[in-house]
Amino acid sequence: MIAFVRLLARNRLALAGGIVLSLVILLVLLTPILPLADPDVTDTANRFKPPFSQGALLGTDHLGRDLLSRLLWGTQLSLAVGFAAAIIAATVGAAIGIVAGFYGGRTDNIIMRGVDMLMAFPYILLALAIVAALGPGLFNALIAVAAVNVPFFARNIRGVTVGIAHKEFVDAARLAGMSNTRIILTEVLPNVIPVIIIAMSTTIGWMILETAGLSFLGLGSQPPQADLGSMLGEARSALISNPHTSIVPGVMILIIVMSINLLGDGVRDALDPRLKSGALSRPMAATLVRRAGTPPPPAGRGLLEVRELQTQFHVKDRVYRAVGGVSLHVEKGECLGIIGESGSGKSVTALSVMGLVASPPGVITGGAVRYDGTDLIGAPYRQLRDMRGRNVAYIFQDPLATLHPLYRVGDQLVEAIRSHRPIGKEEGRAKAIELLAAVRIPNPEKRISDYPHEMSGGMRQRVGIAMALANDPDIIIADEPTTALDVTVQAQILALLDDLRRSRGLAIVFITHDFGVVAQLCDRVAVMYAGRIVEEGHTREILETPRHPYTTRLMACVPELGEGKRRLEAIAGLPPVVDKLPAGCAFAERCLKVQEVCRQGDIPLEGTGGRAVRCLFPEAPISEAAE
Amino acid sequence: MTGYILKRVLSAIPVLLGITVIVFLIMAMIPGDPATAILGSYATPENVEKLNRDLGLDKPLVQQYFIWLGNMLTGDFGTSFALNRPVIDEVLERFNATLILAGTAFVLCSLLGVAAGVISAANQYGWADKGITFVVLLGISIPSFFLGMMMILLFAVNLRWFPVSGMWPIYGDRDLGALISHLTLPAIALAVVATGVIARLARSAMLEVLRQDFIRTARAKGVAERGVIWRHALKAAMVSIIPVLGIQAGFVLSGAVYIEIVFQWPGVGRMLVDAILKRDILLVQGGVVFVAACYVLFNIAVDVAQSLLDPRIKT
Amino acid sequence: MTAALSFENLSKTFPVGRTLLGASRASVKAVHPITLTVEKNETLGIVGESGCGKSTLARMLVGLLEPTTGAIQIEGAALDTADPAEFGKRIQYVFQDPISSLNPRKTIRQIMDAPLKLLHGMGKEERDKRISEIFESVNLREEFLERYPHEFSGGQAQRIGIARALAANARILILDEPVSALDVSVQAQVLNLLADLKAAFDLTYLFISHDLAVVEAVSDRIAVLYFGSVVELGPAEKVFANPQHPYTKLLAESAPVVGRPLTAPEAKGTELPNPLDPPPGCAFAARCLHATDRCRAEVPKLTEGAQGTSVACFHPLGGAE
């Protein structure tokens, strides 16, 4: 609760809205004791006095009544009615929504059909019909406004409830012996309440507008009692001759509704967990680069050379060092594996190459990535875009999420080509068919007009590969391309990638967490831990004689097929969080061989002949490993 | 496709029936002797007797409903006592004017709202975003009737750019130019709120889509940023924007009631308010059912548009 | 000795699509009738790819889904599906996604309290004592009890999930992909913990996973699921080492293994049959290299073969040990 208020106060606009609204509420609470004229006493001799007149600060209306007094009393009434309508609508709507969403099936069907019927009316028709039946009057207007808003709440809350009712913790609660009522009250409701509050805070302003509207039409508060809407309605006939009588209540409505909306947006932002982490930021076209100092000079190795790359995530006041100085290189036609657990920085390293790390929050803060000698970090966006897909192409993890759901796969392939060179319709089609055939999709002439959802996971990933091949790149960066696939499909995709790289002389950077995959596909491998490479070398050497304790232990703790039932060699503890990296070796906390020196100062990645390890006490000397 | 449209049209039938039931039930809430209450100040003995006969008000509720429904299906919505004219004639005439006003406003708010939302999202936290966000906030906070009044003061009374009210000039030709000059202020005043709502939604839908993996794929294959925003992201965002356009059409139609009053526009909304104040209940009933039915049909069109956009919607 | 858990002809059919009037238009058989027995103190591994029905099967066994046909027996007694609380005392479930299986708005103590209070009616003091014991056995610190789920890593959250299952005092745990959401270095910790708990509390496990190596490493027997049916069932050390069913062989050869050259195993396509229009015969026939006309016309039954493995195939591979 305190955290919530603090979060809300941090949002300056919401704070301003909150202050204005508090002042208005304070004012209307004080209205009964303020020395104001009677709002309903007419004095036709003094009608239409302008603002700042003697005895009438805001002037008088067409019956000579004091506008200030009427304004404050009217505000009180409008606020009270608006809030009451919101609370009634939210309570009734939420109750209906929760019941429908939780029980589902027939209950849900019947309730939601009814809600749909109510929503089939433009809302004011329903409100007018209710007022027509009950007769004009403020209370009836309140009922009408609340009633027409119930369906909106019901539908909104139902959607959220359905999501929660299918969460695993609800199943767990059932297995813990809870009854449905108890589950609704203790499991569902606490998770729905923030949504109800958000929905309410963003619709209260709206309801105040609606009740004011009904009063404006003469269907709400009846004379002499006035709310802001009816004040405006009565003033309308004198709009041209005495505009101040209209402007005073109109501006008040604007102030109230605007401050409520500002506050409401603040409440929504503070309560919506997605916004808390800043997740709703849009990633920019290329990763931000804020490089301190000069980029490291090229070492002249490989077609693609990454030197001392540093990529960070800046979330609020925390800095996560996702990649903390990684150097890599890939030769033409070579396959380099990058292996590590989640959070090791392997994907971020790969995405940094072409500036595809989402920013915000990602920032490249140091190092260089050279393709054929040109530094890509800090290269102008135009140049980066031109090289994306043409020189370096990507294949991503989840093929369903990475293809555009609303375009045919053929069109997506052609677009990849067209982004780099003009291509005619017929030629594009022919090329798309050729690409699909190259990744061994049967019947490519027919498949190019499929949408991604019409294909199986394996077929979709083949399309992803075809798209990467579209412009004959030299390098393909594959970011866990088979992790989301079934094992039988994975085997085929891996075989395809291996064939393609041999037949086309492609260099592949393959990111994975699976030693089996690395062993089968990669020439060289780099092992990453907590944002840095801890060991690199030829795949066979690393697999046969791992030198970093982390590599050894990681390989030992993964069960491998054919070894039978046994106890695994677990690594105790957790990988460090990269916003609080320890001094010295990041693995020290979990290492069995740790010495005092391991925790002091930076440990370099050292070695010869392409074999290097970042450890003071490696498992076996290099000479042995070479044998 | 035809199958989908047919299915969607068929599924509208229960909704339309539901609408008539709801309207009928609301009218049944009227306390006291229904005929007298419905007729209000027109409750002469002859009128009461005629109404009782027309609606079968002496019969049980269910039977009354079916008589009323049957009459409506044959185009007989009853007779307005205040206007002494068939309800359907009056409604059709008025609805035409509303359609011109609300239709224009709807086109305006859809185009402006989506464009503002996309620009806002594409420049998140930039000046364009801040400016649009502020204007949008102002737009959704101002009562449309107050905005209309202020526009009259400024543009019609002070600047004399546009006529103060009405749909046609009192003297002179009823040509397109006259209509446009009369239409401009009310259409804009009506569009403002909906533009704000659509812009807000379009912005958040775009932000949501721009975080998706397929946007990263588009960038990775070298699609230019303009294409990423307007082709890839907007198309995907339209999936969640289109249903809101459908809902906003209802809000535009609702807002038209206020705007018609402020600008003296001879539409169905003004007719309904007058009818309520005069307690001309049959006119209210007929008007509400007719407009709601049109809105249901419009929403079918929205659903069809959605299914054309999104191939995942099938059957 | 009676089996810990047995079920006979257990199947699940889901209705698909609705007409205007709400009647279902078609149905999908997610699980074809399956009969299996899990012995006391045994770990039965269930392995299969996505869409094979393994999670549906698991949810039926704990009463979260009502089976379309079949009966479940726990320790010889038939289970009455009407009362989830009765289920909960005998059989518990450990979920795949450890974070989403914990209510984000409750403290860990509140989460742990629920089964003790509702299933066993324990008083406050008794509950606290029992929770301490359980937390001790899953290597969690007691100070965690006052925290909320989002403060935990996946591995810790999964320990909490296991602790909750233990709190119900059930003797049978259904482990539905309990480590697939975890990082490899944490996987081993949880797998070892599960092994320790099994020995300490005399538990019986049904271990469901898509990861062949993990299943092989923890199971006594393994059942291979394909398209809702068990196609092979046998001792863990034999199923993948010497597969009898062509599908099992395909799975075993597809798994990436260090030191084995990269070749796509022989198979025709990777597509599962359309569940709305299942083939009349063996579901694997279309992908099988040995399929005959009989395979395409007739569904093979699971029958006991050599070496104690059962296989649902007309042409089992046999093969030498």
Can you give the pLDDT at residue A266? 85
Among the listed residues A357, A296, A302, the one whose alpha carbon sits nearest the alpha carbon of residue A328: A302
What is the nearest CA distance from B183 to chain A, expressed in angstroms? 20
> Across-strand partners of A319?
A314
Average pLDDT for B123-142: 90
Contacts of B98 in chain A (CB under 8 A): none
pLDDT at res. A234: 87
Local confidence band at A373 (pLDDT 50, 70, 90 cut-offs): confident
pLDDT exceeds cutoff 90 at B190:
yes
Question: What pLDDT, on a 0 to 100 scale, did the predictor assign at position A627?
Answer: 40
For every residue of A178-239, DSSP letters joined together read --HHHIIIIIIHHHHHHHHHHHHHHHHHHHHHHHHHHHHTTSSS-TTS--HHHHHHHHGGGT
Residue range A464-502, pLDDT digits in tens: 999 999 999 999 999 999 888 888 888 889 999 999 999
The owner of tokens 């077929």 is A459
Once rounded to an integer, what is the mean pLDDT over residues B28-42? Answer: 70
Which CATH architecture fits A2-31+66-275? Orthogonal Bundle (1.10)
Q: Which residues are CB-contacts of A211 (< 8 A; sequence separation ≥ 6)?
A: A78, A81, A82, A85, A138, A141, A142, A145, A220, A227, A229
Q: How far is A458 from chain C (nearest CA, A)?
A: 8
- Residues A287 and A350: beta-carbon distance below 8 Å: no
* Least confident interval from C69-73, C284-288, C307-311, C317-321: C317-321
- Determine the average pLDDT of the residues in B162-187: 84
Q: Inspect the interface and report whether the beta carbons of A471 and B222 lie closer than 8 Å.
A: yes
User: In chain A, positions 535-574, which contact chain B (CB-CB < 8 Å)?
Assistant: none
Non-local (6+) Cβ contacts of A204 within 8 A are A82, A83, A86, A260, A264
Q: How many CB atoms lie within 10 A of CB C24?
A: 12
Q: What is the pLDDT of residues A495-550, one digit of tens each?
A: 999 999 999 999 999 999 988 899 989 999 999 999 999 999 999 999 989 999 99
3-state secondary structure of A404: coil
Q: What is the pLDDT of residue A625?
A: 44
CB–CB contact A495 C258 (8 Å): no
Mean pLDDT of B43-72: 79
- CB spacing of B7 vs C17 below 8 angstroms: no
C44, C47, C54, C185: which to substitute to probe chain A, counting the most A Cβ within 10 Å?
A: C185
Pick the residue of C16, C18, C20, C21 with the most B CBs within 10 A to test the interface with B by mutation. C20
Domain ranges of chain C: 244-321
What would the CATH number be for the domain defined by A325-529?
Answer: 3.40.50.300
Q: What is the mean pLDDT of residues B196-205?
A: 92
> pLDDT grade, residue A626 (50/70/90)?
very low
Q: Which residues pair with A510 in a beta bridge?
A: A337, A478
Domain boundaries, chain A: 2-31+66-275, 325-529
A257 with B216: Cβ contact below 8 A: no
- Give which of B268, B224, B217, B292 is closest to B87, Cα–Cα: B268
CB contact under 8 A, A129 and B27: yes
**pLDDT above 90 as % of chain C:** 43
Q: Classify residue A162 by burial, with Cβ atoms within 10 Å: 0-12, 13-18, 19+.
A: middle
**Mean pLDDT (whole number) for A269-288:** 72
Interface of B with A in 144-183 (CB under 8 A): 145-146, 149-150, 152-153, 157, 164
pLDDT at residue C1 greater than cutoff 60:
no
Distance CA A345, CA A368 (A): 16
Distance, CA of B101 to CA of A17 (rounded, Å): 34
In C, residues 101-160, which contact A (CB 8 Å cutoff)?
Answer: 101-106, 114-115, 118-119, 153, 155
Contacts of C17 in chain B (CB under 8 A): 315
Q: Looking at CA atoms only, how far is residue A252 from chain B in angstroms? A: 10
Q: Which two tokens stand for residue A593?
A: 């061989």
Q: Report chain A residues whose CB lies below 8 A from the CB of C114.
A: 173, 176-178
Which residues 3-62 of C have a C-beta within 8 angstroms of B? Answer: 17, 20
Partner B contacted by A110 (CB < 8 A): no
Highest mean pLDDT among A396-405, B57-66, C15-24: A396-405
Closest C-alpha among C215, A436, A370 to residue C206: C215
Residue B84 has pLDDT above 90, yes or no: no
Question: H or E element: which one contains C295?
Answer: helix C293-297
Total-model pTM: 0.87
Residues 6 or more apart whose CB falls under 8 angstroms from that of C212 comprise A487, A561, C47, C240, C251, C252, C255
C163-172 residue pLDDT tens: 999 998 889 9
How much is the mean pLDDT over chain A?
A: 88
Res A380: pLDDT:
92
Name, of A29-38, A553-562, B241-250, the range with top average pLDDT: B241-250
Do A2-31+66-275 and A325-529 have matching folds? no
Share the mean pLDDT of chain B.
87
B227 in contact with chain A, both atoms CB, cutoff 8 A? yes
DSSP characters over A582-622: PSS-TTGGG-TT--GGGGSS----EEETTEEE--SS-SS-H
Can you state the percent helix, strand and coil of chain A, rounding each to 5? 50, 15, 35
Sheet-wide strand order for A335-339:
A392-395, A475-479, A507-512, A335-339, A524-529, A532-538, A611-613, A606-608
- pLDDT at position A277: 47
Contact of A581 with A530, CB cutoff 8 Å: yes
For position A621, what pLDDT does the model report? 58
Interface residues of B toward C, Cβ cutoff 8 Å, are 7, 10-11, 315
Across the range B67-77, mean pLDDT stands at 86
Rounded Cα gap, residues C210 and C177, in angstroms:
7
CA–CA gap between residue C274 and residue C279 (Å, rounded): 8
Of the pLDDT bands very low, low, confident and very high (cuts 50, 70, 90), residue C24 is low
Nearest CA-CA distance, residue C130 and chain A, Å? 15
Q: Is the pLDDT of residue A25 over 90?
A: yes
Nearest-angstrom CA–CA distance, C125 and C108: 17
Tracing tokens 């005399």 back to the chain, one arrives at C202
Provide the β-strand partners of residue A606.
A613
- What is the reported pLDDT for C321? 39
Tokens of B89: 């004639």
A12 pLDDT band, cuts 50/70/90, is confident
C19 touches chain A (CB under 8 A): no
Query: Residue B55: pLDDT band by 50, 70, 90 thresholds?
Result: low
Question: pLDDT-based confidence at A298, cuts 50/70/90?
Answer: confident
Question: Interhelix angle for B87-122 vs B176-210, to 10°?
Answer: 40
Q: Count Cβ atoms within 10 A of the Cβ of residue A148 and give its class: 0-12 exposed, 13-18 middle, 19 or more buried.
A: buried
Give CA separation, B249 vs A447, B255, B303, in Å: 39, 10, 13
- The whole-angstrom separation of Cα A194 and Cα A153 is 13
Q: Is A133 on the interface with B (CB under 8 A)?
A: yes
Over residues A240-272, the pLDDT tens digits come to: 888 888 998 999 999 999 999 999 888 887 877
